Amino acid sequence: MSTVAAGRAPAPAVPSGARVVGALVRAEARRMLRNPVPWLCLAVSAWGMWLVVPEPGEWPGSSYEAMNPVAVPLLLGISVAVAVPFHRARHEVAPAAPVAETRRTLARLLAALPLLALTAAFAGLVAWRERDIGGLWIGMEPGRTTEALHSTAELSQLVVLGLVAVALGAALGRRVSRLVALVPALFVLWFVVSVYWLFGHPAVTPYSVMQVQPLVLEAGPATADPLAFPADWLLVTAPHYSGGGWGRQWVSQALAWWHDVWLLGLAALLLSAAWPRPGRRVLIAVGVVLAVAGVVGQHWVIP
């Protein structure tokens, strides 16, 4: 007996958890990056961004507002690319796999990091393009600028929206039974979000997915002298302001940062729908805390 035991081949080394997750991350990332959809969508977004140029007579701030929604095709592409591997996890073979579901889910999410890098690169492209064309226009004379640039806080929203796109793709991919049903669902969700003027009212914008600044706030009555307003106010009036009198186009970095917090909460809540049962409650709790903090913060910042 001991002779047999002595002659037995040594047991194969069991790879550590980190190595298994690493291998899965590499395989899933390769698959996601081979998917042509996010690349085609990136091209559409980049082309859309290229078409945004301020023109004389434009609606005050329209070119500034148009810069964020051009990212929507890219976000749709990211959601589709992430939804495919998460939908694959619904197959019967997956529960019998030797790697725990939590690790497989984690690996798929880590594999989506290059797609997040894509959104960061797109945000960088937007920043470069705005400087290249000499800035965008906000406001009307006498309160007007032709050199408006999106702040870091506003550009960071594109990256956080990339995270929401990953989470949305993961949630729908995991929960929707047929892959083909994801196409209209993701399309409608992202393109309704891009109709930003529906969510631009100060009372609604904290809950929006894509927050597009500037917000329009009341500045004074029609009889007010616009030169008497603070010099840094970007003004609008009829027919570009429906409130009557003078309004001001307001851009706030603090609002954008708090909106990022809200979006992080939203992403955590969406991820909880894709995450296996152990750990789901933690994600829900974190999501609720961040979302509430984000909404309260935004309401606190808006004058």
- Angle at which helix 17-34 crosses helix 72-88, to 10 degrees, equals 130
- 226 dihedral zone (left: phi>0; alpha: psi -120 to 50; beta): alpha
Q: How far is the CB of 138 from another protein (least distance, A)?
A: 19
**Residue closer to another protein, measured from CB, 9 or 51:** 51
Gap between the terminal Cα atoms of the chain: 83
Told to check if 245 binds another protein by CB under 8 A, we report no
Member of 125, 199, 280, 299 binding another protein (CB under 8 A): 199
CB 185 within 8 A of CB 175: no
Task: For residue 99, give both structure tokens.
Answer: 């790697």
Kind and range of the H or E run holding 7: helix 2-7
- Tell how strand 234-237 and strand 246-250 pair up: antiparallel
Task: For residue 64, give both structure tokens.
Answer: 């500034």
Told to check if 202 binds another protein by CB under 8 A, we report no
Told to check if 238 binds another protein by CB under 8 A, we report no
3 state DSSP class of 143: strand
Q: How far is the CB of 27 from another protein (least distance, A)?
A: 23
- Angle at which helix 182-193 crosses helix 152-175, to 10 degrees, equals 160
Q: How far is the CB of 198 from another protein (least distance, A)?
A: 5
- What mask of x and - would describe binding to another protein in positions 131 to 170, judged by CB under 8 A? ----------------------------------------
The candidate with the shortest Cα–Cα distance to 213, out of 185, 168, 250, is 250
Q: How far is the CB of 202 from another protein (least distance, A)?
A: 11
Q: How many residues bind another protein (CB under 8 A)?
A: 27
**Residue closer to another protein, measured from CB, 189 or 301:** 189
- What mask of x and - would describe binding to another protein in positions 12 to 51, judged by CB under 8 A? --------------------------------x--xx--x
Told to check if 295 binds another protein by CB under 8 A, we report no
Q: How far is the CB of 145 from another protein (least distance, A)?
A: 25
CA 96 vs CA 45, 88, 109: distances in Å: 40, 14, 20
Told to check if 217 binds another protein by CB under 8 A, we report no
Footprint of another protein (CB under 8 A) = 44, 47-48, 51, 73, 176-185, 187-189, 191-192, 195, 197-199, 201, 204, 242
